[in-house]
Amino acid sequence: MSLDLERIRAEYDHCFGCGRANPLGLQLDDFRIDGSTVSVDWTPRPDYQGFDGILHGGIVAAALDEAMAWAAMLTHDVFVFTGTLDFRYASQAPLDSRYRIEASVLERRGRRLRIESKLTIEGEARPVASARGLFVVAEGVGG
């Protein structure tokens, strides 16, 4: 099976995480592949604020989850849904920063993929948040 990413983009254009036509969404786009790692740069909008000047933790979680799904699509050619997620928040995420999100598939066993991701402020090494999750191949979707 080979995923038709442009068809997926068109079909899911209103996705909260990656939909280009969703004016409220994160609009994560232009994913890059470097070996087994998928990355995307992202500047959050002021609408994603939690505490004053701080990116809402739920938005951080959504961004990490989205990147993990794209890691599966771009490196394993499968469409997945989220089974479980485990998040770690290391520090506050300033709303006015530019971020890099990286995600990698750690292991695949049949229809199950273990994937990790991290969110770092551009130019810094230490992540402000990270996640690990179990994702399941969605049969009959996306192909």
Give the global pTM: 0.92
pLDDT tens per residue across span 96-135: 999 999 999 999 999 999 999 999 999 999 999 999 999 9
What H or E segment, with its residue span, contains residue 85? strand 80-89
pLDDT tens per residue across span 35-89: 889 999 999 999 999 999 999 999 999 999 999 999 999 999 999 999 999 999 9
Give the CA dihedral 105, 140, 143, 36, nearest 10 degrees: 0
- Give the 3-state secondary structure of residue 96: coil
Q: In what order do the strands lie in the sheet with 80-89?
A: 32-34, 37-42, 99-109, 112-121, 129-137, 80-89
Q: Which CATH class is domain 30-137?
A: alpha beta
